[in-house]
Structure 1
Amino acid sequence: MVLRLLIFLVLGVYLAEGQYVNLTQYPGELCNSKCIPGKTKICYYHWTLEHYNAMGPACGACQQGVTADCFKPQCIIGDGFQKGVMSINRMIPGPAIQVCLGDQVVIDVKNMAMGTAASIHWHGLHMVDTPYMDGVPHVTQCPILYESTFRYNFKATQVGTHFYHSHSGHHKLNGQYGALIVRQPDEDNPLIDTYDFDKPEHYILISDWRHDYAENSFPGLPKGVSFPDSFLINGRGTYVSKDTFEHTVVPVTIYYIEKPGLYKFNIISSVSLTCGCTIQAEKHSFIVTATDSYDNEPAEFDTLVLNAGERNDVVIDAWRGSGDYWIRVRGLPSCQTQPTDTFALLRYITKPSDYKKPQPPFPSYHKTYAVGDSLNFPNATCFDNDNHWCVADLTALERDTDLATGEPDYKFTFRFYNYVFPVEQGFIPGKYVRFDNPEADVIASGVVNNMSLIFPPQTILTQYNEVNKSQMCDGFNFPARCKGQETCNCINMVKVKTGAKVEMTLIDDALVPDLNHPWHLHGSEFFVVGMALDPNNMTKAVETARKVRKSAPVRKDTVQVPNNGVVVVRFRANNPGVWLVHCHYELHLATGMAFLYQVGEPSEWRQPPSDFPKCGNYVPGIRKGYY
């Protein structure tokens, strides 16, 4: 009896009804099934995080062209080059989570990557009622130490296309990310008539890829570059030689079209470095039905642009009948120091032998597809009815007129940029200034309103009373210890009341050409009420962006700010807790281009179980003669 109880305590989860269940009886893979009204499931996963390798021994002779070896167990292909990675269950991307609205998702994450601390963020889920499961170290939880296991346990509360990724160090760029898709019963889906097929394997997960460990890019090397060597689609891609423009040949991801019709696809951008990407489908277009999981009035485009953290639900009209058609992903100009061009295949099946057809040659790098009508193209002008749409041109299906057009309770302006400081200020004996070294002797840190976010040794959400308040700033004013300085490293936290309507103006003061920063809000979605750019008059751009133009503006949780431009968003602060807001480029977050929202008072925050891990410094006083 005692042994059985111990097993349940380890493998069980406590339900609202009061009993423990044996989680091994609820494998998460079984949750990838048709959603039924009124029925929810428990979905259990066990993950192991490791240092691992791409094109290592598990891949046999894959690199030498033996295609069958590329599909061996635990073989990670990447773009065909050998390199070190950080994997989940020896997979890149990690295991896909596909569940139904309301399902209880339980993931045991064991950190076996020696010398690291870990966490996983569930990008797009708001963690309503479980804010301590958001996965941000020192904000909502302590990092998961080596040889330790942390159990994430939450409800799938938002329908749509999401993804998960590490929020520790640069583990995401090293390979720790995966798809997270939440479906709903057909009866509740307002867009069910826009497609005929929604196949679980039809997700397109885009990531950037380097041939070295991501840590080589931070703080960087004077002669190094922090751009991707290639892009991957569902963990597979091609490397393009700078000299010959030839592609490495690897087996690409293939999406099968077995019957003519309208096919839904989930597109996810898990890029980490400082460039977004375009995606096109040869002789096909994309009908966009949702962005960042929120439904919009369908709109058709030839080219989509996605930056870090953004997602689109699209419908492809598969009417061609037969043949192979390339899906192409290419980096934007900000990462064109290296030609980046990668592919997946859209394959029509007319007979059984089509499944085994050889992979056709890749298109030439110089054979581009016409841009045509585009969505989210960098620096496109908004609201002018041309063929390059901003996301702000989309119209949401779900309206909140009071939030979209009413008067906000708070109006905040956040100006962000990379603060470049003299080299001598970065290397003072006894001081350890955090910096990024993008090139030569340039050293910089990310700032928002001249403040650079740092984290306390404790977890703010669950150990608020232990946090040193002298390290805090309020988003607009320096603490006393920073008076007289140009910038300040502080726990930058903006406080709002629960239920308030918040308007946030994001202004790109970075003055870096071709760079469009993607900003992500944890714990909520927002309406994109305005976007604008005017390189010669930022004041005018801000005025333009703040004009309310639509009663049903598009809803998102991640938005690309135009280069040297402005975005205005609004959200309801109805999820009490502490939530991170940050540029989704890893190197910018690492140097502090972020801040926190404190929603409500600590007494309103949902607290974790009593045995939830705590963290902090251990610096006891020392008495002479005692050890």
Structure 2
Amino acid sequence: MKLLILSLCIIANLSNNGKASLESFMPTKDNMILADTTKGSDKSCSRPCKFNVKPRRCTYDFEISPSIEENGRPALTINNLTPGPAIQVCLHDIVIVKVKNKVPNQDVTLHWHGVEQKGTPYMDGVPMITQCPIVFGSTYEYAFIASSPGTFFYHTDSVSHQSDGVYGSLIVDQPQPLEPHASLYDYDRSEEHTLMVGAKFNELLTGHLEGVNQIRPDNLVVNGDEMDTKIFVMQGYGYRLRLINAIALECPLLINVERHPMTIIASDANPLQPVITDAVRLYPGERMDVVVRTDQQSGGYWVRVSGEGVCEGLSAHAMLLYSGFNYTTMLEQGPNPESETNYDTITDSQHLPSLREASPVPSVKSVYLSIDKNSPKFKDADIDFSYRSDAMSKKPFFPAVLSSVKSVVQINGKNFLYPDAPYLLKPRDVHPNIICNVGEENEQMEPQCLQVLKAQANEVIELVLGNEGFNTNDSYTFHMHGQKMQVIATWQNPKNVPVSKSEIYKLYSEDIVTRNERNPPLKDTFVVPNKGFTVVRYTPIYGGSWLLECRSCSTILPVAILINVPISIPKLVIDALPSCGNYRPADLLLN
């Protein structure tokens, strides 16, 4: 622990140019970074955030283990809870989470979804990219600065582990005068008014070696319950609600509050120009902050969550309860299905303008990412289960899972391959044969490779993600680690026919597609519609190895690229982090 805390001090030398100090992210430049000077006061990190108060160290102990819920369902839990313990801190607090893995025969990591990890890129929680996996029986200590306010959450890197219950909310508050939309609401009760939606399955996805893609959730839950979550309010006030889609599969959600319009004020922890709507659509991993005014007759009202995509037909409910209302009858009667689907307006945040204007961009580097389902061509003889050493000559390796599926989602015709050593910490130990540069994937004969996009600090990169739709009718949600992206444009072919790379660039260059370069929304989670495309701009501000992934694209073979921005991490920090020893990912052992 001492070494890891010392590493936090070392990151005073880390940033985009390796010289900015950790104190620059603090409200004051005091050398006692880790000192708790709040003696005699409430030690809880969940507290009203104030000016001129030193940050606190917020320490949490997580034990991830299998469990049986009260209804008999198997689950993976954190401290016997799913969702896991809520983390609520103030801006600039230091978050320390000690994670112990008690899941037999499983490796885990925790990713802090939306957290920028300024100065701590090795705390992002991606196995074999930013850290070694946490093997059964071992403990890993995460430590990072809550450097940006907003609504975040955490989950395991594994889609199966997250689907089985390992996720929880992470809220970073700031002093109320700093909130850009504070005038729109009277109460921001993050602990009570955060609605995290998850999916439940009849069986554990963890441990399934095949057929996971065919397993579908059978119900939705809000804060772990189908209908028991309660939001207590008083009549005549405005309340800020924080909505989180914590589902790892391609499951968009429609959320509305009965007879109460919502005002959208933020998405993915970034403020937006306020928009009033009847219902909002949240994609997997997306968060949205809304304001609800309690201006209806005193009583009880249903908050309805409806699933789309793989969750089509599933729903969950919470209750908005005015002070003094007895909700017994409301529970007995249940929701009225006829009054819940008539929405005049449904809004998603990807098209909404940001509250702040973007700076002009003199030039951009354009990179195209082709997204589609493909059927890798191979013969049965190409599938090899034997171990081969690096000294032996080898033919292209096709994972055995390809023999049981007709097609897989790929980026530029390849699936992502996790490296044989942590890429961020020990890039020289990564076998060079598994690396392929984005845009040059055709030089790699195998269907999987470590797809790397090399970027420089402050270089403006425009990613054009084309969901061409030649072999699929699915839309896909992407998540960017470490930093937000500007969503410049999103377009879907109204003719519902596939589009090629050349057609996409022609549409984009001729201004046929609406572009927002003035005040584009800042997002870390965005959707790429089928037979269409999304254009995002990314300007690396600080170094690291950051994953751009489509978690919901596949539970079989990863779909992602790695954006690498040069950084120099002190040897003292690397030595303080747990080493992988002789650990290798399963696909590398067979490759």
State the TM bucket, normalised to the shorter chain. Answer: 0.7 to 0.9
194, 213, 222: which one pairs with 2:204? 213
Q: Is the 8 A contact 1:194 1:315 kept in 2?
A: yes
Alignment of structure 1 residues 41-56 onto 2, 5 Å: 41-55=56-70
457, 462, 468: which one pairs with 1:498? 457
Q: Cα offset for 1:550?
A: 3.9
2:193 aligned partner, one-letter code:
H
Query: Residue in 1 aligned with 2:561?
Result: 595
Per-residue CA distance 1:34-63 (angstroms, 9 max, x = gap): 1112322111111111011122xxxxxxxx
Query: Residue in 2 aligned with 1:415?
Result: 370
Q: Partners in 1 of 2:252 and 2:381 — Cα distance?
A: 30
Secondary structure, counterpart of 2:331 in structure 1: coil
276, 283, 286: which one pairs with 1:307? 283
> 4+ residue stretches of structure 1 with deviation over 6 A?
10-15, 18-23, 25-29, 355-358, 604-607
Q: Partners in 2 of 1:313 and 1:158 — Cα distance?
A: 15
1:479–1:603 distance in 2 versus 1, CA, 3 Å: farther
Per-residue CA distance 1:424-465 (angstroms, 9 max, x = gap): 54983437744768xx96433331101211112211111111
| TM-score after normalising by structure 2 | 0.84
Q: Partners in 2 of 1:606 and 1:374 — Cα distance?
A: 51
1:371 paired with 2:343, answer: yes
Q: Partners in 2 of 1:175 and 1:551 — Cα distance?
A: 40
Query: Residue in 2 aligned with 1:345?
Result: 319
Farther-moved stretch of structure 1 (100-109 vs 513-522): 513-522
What are the ranges of 5 or more consecutive residues in structure 1 without an aligned counterpart?
1-7, 56-80, 238-250, 377-390, 620-627
Q: Cα offset for 1:192?
A: 1.0
Alignment of structure 1 residues 158-557 onto 2, 5 Å: 158-168=148-158, 170-200=160-190, 201-215=192-206, 219-220=210-211, 225-237=214-226, 252-336=228-312, 339-350=313-324, 354=326, 359-363=331-335, 368-376=340-348, 391-403=349-361, 406-408=362-364, 410-421=365-376, 425=380, 428-430=383-385, 433-434=398-399, 442-478=405-441, 482-483=444-445, 488-511=447-470, 515-534=474-493, 535-536=496-497, 538=499, 539-545=502-508, 547=511, 548-557=515-524
Query: Residue in 2 aligned with 1:246?
Result: none
Q: Partners in 2 of 1:607 and 1:522 — Cα distance?
A: 25
Q: Partners in 1 of 2:568 and 2:141 — Cα distance?
A: 25
Q: Partners in 2 of 1:426 and 1:398 — Cα distance?
A: 57
Q: Is the 8 A contact 1:533 1:541 kept in 2?
A: no
Q: Partners in 2 of 1:27 and 1:540 — Cα distance?
A: 62
Secondary structure, counterpart of 2:366 in structure 1: strand
1:44 aligned partner, one-letter code:
T
Q: Cα offset for 1:260?
A: 2.3
1:169–1:584 distance in 2 versus 1, CA, 3 Å: closer
Q: Partners in 2 of 1:230 and 1:29 — Cα distance?
A: 38
Secondary structure, counterpart of 2:520 in structure 1: coil
Q: Is the 8 A contact 1:227 1:274 kept in 2?
A: no
52, 64, 80: which one pairs with 1:38? 52
- RCO higher in structure (CA 8 A, sep ≥6): 2
Q: Partners in 2 of 1:12 and 1:176 — Cα distance?
A: 26
Per-residue CA distance 1:454-511 (angstroms, 9 max, x = gap): 112211111111111111000111375x34xxx6311111101111111111111345
535, 560, 566: which one pairs with 2:533? 566
Q: Is the 8 A contact 1:228 1:273 kept in 2?
A: no
1:572–1:15 distance in 2 versus 1, CA, 3 Å: closer
Query: Residue in 1 aligned with 2:576?
Result: 611
Per-residue CA distance 1:227-253 (angstroms, 9 max, x = gap): 22111111112xxxxxxxxxxxxx511
1:22–1:294 distance in 2 versus 1, CA, 3 Å: closer
Q: Cα offset for 1:19?
A: 9.2
Query: Residue in 2 aligned with 1:383?
Result: none
Q: Cα offset for 1:21?
A: 7.0
Q: Cα offset for 1:272?
A: 1.4
Q: How many residues align?
A: 543
1:436–1:230 distance in 2 versus 1, CA, 3 Å: farther
Q: Cα offset for 1:124?
A: 0.6
1:149–1:616 distance in 2 versus 1, CA, 3 Å: closer
Secondary structure, counterpart of 2:186 in structure 1: coil
Q: Cα offset for 1:262?
A: 0.7
Farther-moved stretch of structure 1 (506-515 vs 254-263): 506-515
Q: Partners in 2 of 1:317 and 1:607 — Cα distance?
A: 52
Q: Partners in 1 of 2:359 and 2:487 — Cα distance?
A: 13
Q: Partners in 1 of 2:272 and 2:572 — Cα distance?
A: 35
Q: Is the 8 A contact 1:578 1:598 kept in 2?
A: yes
1:459–1:14 distance in 2 versus 1, CA, 3 Å: closer
Per-residue CA distance 1:367-415 (angstroms, 9 max, x = gap): 6421211113xxxxxxxxxxxxxx3431111222224xx421x210101
1:425–1:367 distance in 2 versus 1, CA, 3 Å: farther
1:419 aligned partner, one-letter code:
N
Q: Is the 8 A contact 1:169 1:590 kept in 2?
A: no
2:214 aligned partner, one-letter code:
V
Per-residue CA distance 1:106-143 (angstroms, 9 max, x = gap): 11111111211111000011101000000000000000
